[in-house]
Structure 1
């Protein structure tokens, strides 16, 4: 079984913002695989089904970003899934251009507070993560203001393409392995 987590903030106020691309990716993955992510459980919204023949639980924590680990820990404990073999987390990254992805098998939080909280609750950095580029904040702009704004129209198509590729990357991980997904989707834009 796999637990696929998309990070974001609950409520419509934050819908379609840079910080919510993890939610958007999980919603798209659910839609592509006919899994509704709408059951309130474990301090989050969840949906169960199969993707590429594997049992999955799709999760959108509803604790706000900085407390995402509370939800993830509850899900992992309930389903008895080990992070290193069954967790994939999708989230925004300001150090990557809009439209680009970075898939890694493990690593630090890289300054992302949602990831810091997950790592603290799981007591490990050893799990797959798919970082979705949202672009660097303009100089002088507050980071919170930047990540909580919606994408300008010029970037929206790139981001939508990255969301589709991130969903396909999850499918690649489930049907093959992380290395195959990294080789296929960790390509920089030219």
Structure 2
């Protein structure tokens, strides 16, 4: 089973924040792929289905814990025989080090100070899992205040539009990953990158 984990915080007050763009993309994927019937599964909301022409199911996961505990929802998958984070997990996450309107796909790497990724790595005991990092911009644009104020702040209209404008190519990259792994997904990224 392929698992796509969208990082975010539960609750209406966080719905439109920068930290929840992973949830935005998971919701978009569910709609695009015609998956409905979200249900509670432990400490997460999940929806599952199979893409056209595929036998292996894909499960979209939104943790119902706060960001710094979101990796805990992966325990049930990590215990499954033949399930490997390096090939069966894709994490969708916000990234302050990437400008709004940009994105990066990586096969592995550190948490880069992101508490959600730290939790995932602590749960899995490895940094070897793919992540799609969605740019939420530079907190230096917001004068003063800690980083948490920036990532938990509401996304402005222009930034929201720029992030959502990425969803078609991000959907292509995620679907390429589901169908063929990191190679095809990185090909989508390469074709989408400005030359």
TM-score, length basis structure 2: 0.90
Per the alignment, residue 163 of structure 1 pairs with 167
From the superposition, tell whether residues 176 and 72 of structure 1 become closer, same or farther in structure 2 (CA, over 3 Å): same
* CA deviation after TM superposition for structure 1 residue 142, in Å: 1.5
* CA deviation after TM superposition for structure 1 residue 38, in Å: 1.9
RMSD, aligned α-carbons: 1.9
**Per-residue CA distance 1:95-144 (angstroms, 9 max, x = gap):** 00111110011111111000001100100111110000000102533211
Per the alignment, residue 6 of structure 1 pairs with 6
Query: Is 1:136 the equivalent of 2:129?
Result: no
Runs of 4+ in 1 over 4 A off after TM superposition: 186-190
- Greater shift after overlay, 106-115 or 52-61? 52-61
Structure 2 unaligned runs (5+)?
none
Count of matched residue pairs? 190
Per the alignment, residue 26 of structure 2 pairs with 26
* CA deviation after TM superposition for structure 1 residue 165, in Å: 2.4
Structure 1 unaligned runs (5+)?
none
TM-score, length basis structure 1: 0.92
Per the alignment, residue 180 of structure 1 pairs with 184
